[in-house]
Every structure is written in C-alpha cells, then in structure tokens.
Amino acid sequence: MGNFAIYTAARKVSPDWVAKYQGLPVANVSDVLDRMVAAGPDLRPWYTGAPMIGPAVTVKARPGDNLMVHAALDLAQPGEVVVVDAGGDTTNAIIGELMVAHAIQRKLGGIVINGAIRDSAELLAGSFPVFATGVTHRGPYKDGPGTVNAPIAIGGMVITAGDLILGDADGVVAVPFDQVAEAHDRARAKHAAETQQMDAIRRGENDRAWVQKRLQDLGCTFA
C-alpha cells in the first residue's frame, strides 16, 4: 500500500450488527475482547449526546494535516465513523466546527481523531459524536500525504476499514469484523449479568464471598 492513496473497503459490518450492539457499554465490549485492545485514555468525547457506533472509515494523516480527512468525510456513507490516526500530535487541530457540520449534513456516525480538535466549546455543546486527544486553536495544513481505508493503529488498537467502532464516556473500542458476532453474544451476556448484579447490590443481597476466597487462593495472610 502506498502512503498517498484512497482504497475501497473490502467489507464492513452490516446495519443489523450495528443495531444489535446498540445499548452495550464500551466497557462490556472491551472486557469480552479480553481487555487487550484500547485506544488509550487520552481519547475523550467532545460532545454531549448518545454513544457512538458504526462501521469504520480509516484515515492515516500526517500530523497536523487534514487533507485526507476531508477526502474521507466526502467518501463516508451515512452512519459510518471516520477514524483518524494523526499520530497523536496536538500541535495543530485536525477538525473543527465546519468539518463537523459537514459530517452532520452527510449523516455520518461520528469522528475519532488521534490528535487535536478546535472549536471545542461548540463541539462539546453539540450532540454529534467527536472523540479526540487534545485541543488547540492552531489550524491544520492540507498537503497530505495519507491514506483512506488502509489499516491504522491507535494506542496499539488496530482498526481496519469496516470494523465496528463504539464510543461512550469511557472511550473508544474497535471490534474486528471477524469477531463481531462472538463479541456481541459475550458482551450481551456480560451486560445482563452486571444488570442482575446491580439489582442485587441495590437490594443488599450481593454475594461478596468470592473476595475472601480469592485472597485465600492467592495466599494472602491475615495478621
């Protein structure tokens, strides 16, 4: 793959799977992925609204440059989430209010930036999902190079075009295309179990015997 190219995604998760994941917390999905993938704690939401979910359109951008992000926003289909690896650099903003307005007009599902945004007050007051690692008033360049729909990695989490992207107040997680079915079933079961546990806590009936057993099994001494 070249470093200045736009590719066609080979596959993407279906709208049915997007609908099935609705209501599942990122934390539950992360747990069933064995706590092995995460986009890093610095990637935070900059909006006020519902959780983000949709197929990924991936962008690799040169730090401080948003030319390929503009290309991706024009190519992405309704409901898709544009996920940008801009190297985590926060010297220049990659998107701002105008680009988000364009994404809203195109009915996209969200934007994730491993880098900075600007117009943060306006974005934070809005309901369109935006995640980023920082804020700066300094604007971007538009020279490239970069790629659209090539694999990227954010915080060690590899994202391929068409993977499922979820985001909420806890952060962002990507579910690989070929793990979507298995992860959904496990996350749905975990969410149901935690809901039952919360009900037991509220009734004062939560069984805490496992704590003592775990300490004993690990050889903890009691003086």
Give the residue from 109, 118, 139 showing the smallest Cα distance to 49.
109
Task: Confirm or deny that 186 is annotated as ligand binding.
Answer: no
State how far the alpha carbon of 93 is from the alpha carbons of 89, 105, 111, 206, in Å: 9, 21, 13, 47
Task: Confirm or deny that 124 is annotated as ligand binding.
Answer: no
Give me the phi and psi of 178, to 5 degrees please: -80, 0
Task: Confirm or deny that 36 is annotated as ligand binding.
Answer: no
Task: Tell me how far apart the alpha carbons of residues 219 and 172 are, in angstroms, rounded to a whole number.
Answer: 36
- Helix pair angle (67-75, 97-105), 10° resolution: 20
Q: Are 117 and 142 in contact (CB under 8 A)?
A: no
Task: Confirm or deny that 98 is annotated as ligand binding.
Answer: yes
| Paired residues of 171 in beta bridges | 168
Task: Tell me how far apart the alpha carbons of residues 21 and 76 are, in angstroms, rounded to a whole number.
Answer: 21
- Apex CA 155: angle with CA 152 and CA 156, to 5°? 65
Task: Tell me how far apart the alpha carbons of residues 60 and 149 are, in angstroms, rounded to a whole number.
Answer: 8
Question: Length of the chain in residues, anyone?
Answer: 223
Binding-site residues for substrate sit at 96-99, 118
Binding-site residues for Mg(2+) sit at 119
Binding-site residues sit at 96-99, 118-119
